[in-house]
Amino acid sequence: MTTLAESPMTNPFANTKCGGCTALCCSYFALEIDTPDEPEDFENLRWYIIHEDVQIFVDDGDWYLQINRKCSWLDGNKCGNYENRPQICRDYSDTLCDLDGPQSDHTFRNIEELEAYRDTWVAEFEEKKRKKAKKARKKNGKRRKHGR
């Protein structure tokens, strides 16, 4: 039941997008990590993902490690230290935010999801390598033919 103190009439925040949200954007932080270039690069990613409260996502081709721990300044669903909030919080807009669903190209929540992606990635990587080697062999053959 909504009391008078909580009603949208007396609490304009309740009528905003953030007012109807459980502070999803304050419930994690994410750091950019190296984009895998070689099959071995997935080893570190496998190590990250087997930890609790961690996931990995790819956004616009950039890879991120996400730590699903809420901010210690969160007070209920509101910022408890609004005046001192870090710049990244000031810059974050609710126009297209976590409440609107995942914005990433890929999200890996567990090692199975990551390894399934890795297997496809490695197969494509090996195929590209094979094609490149074939092209190089062809080029060398032509050079020998022409005595260069």
Q: Which of 30, 33, 58, 97 binds ligand SF4 (CB under 6 A)?
A: 97
CB-count exposure of residue 86 (10 Å: 0-12, 13-18, 19+):
exposed
The count of residues interacting with ligand SF4 (CB under 6 A) is: 19
Question: Nearest-CA neighbor of 84 among 71, 95, 93?
Answer: 71
- Binding to ligand SF4 by CB under 6 A, coded x per residue (else -) over 7-26, reads ----------xx--x-xxxx
3-state class of 116 per DSSP?
helix
H or E segment and range at residue 77:
none
With binding defined as CB under 6 A, does residue 105 bind ligand SF4?
Answer: no
Q: Which of 14, 30, 67, 89 binds ligand SF4 (CB under 6 A)?
A: 89
Nearer to ligand SF4 by Cβ, of 58 and 79: the residue is 79
Query: What is the smallest separation between the CB atom of 13 and ligand SF4, expressed in angstroms?
Result: 11
Q: Is residue 96 within 8 Å of residue 106, measured between CB atoms?
A: no
| Nearest-angstrom CA–CA distance, 96 and 105 | 15
Interface positions with ligand SF4 (CB under 6 A): 17-18, 21, 23-26, 71, 73-74, 79, 81, 85-86, 89, 94, 97-99
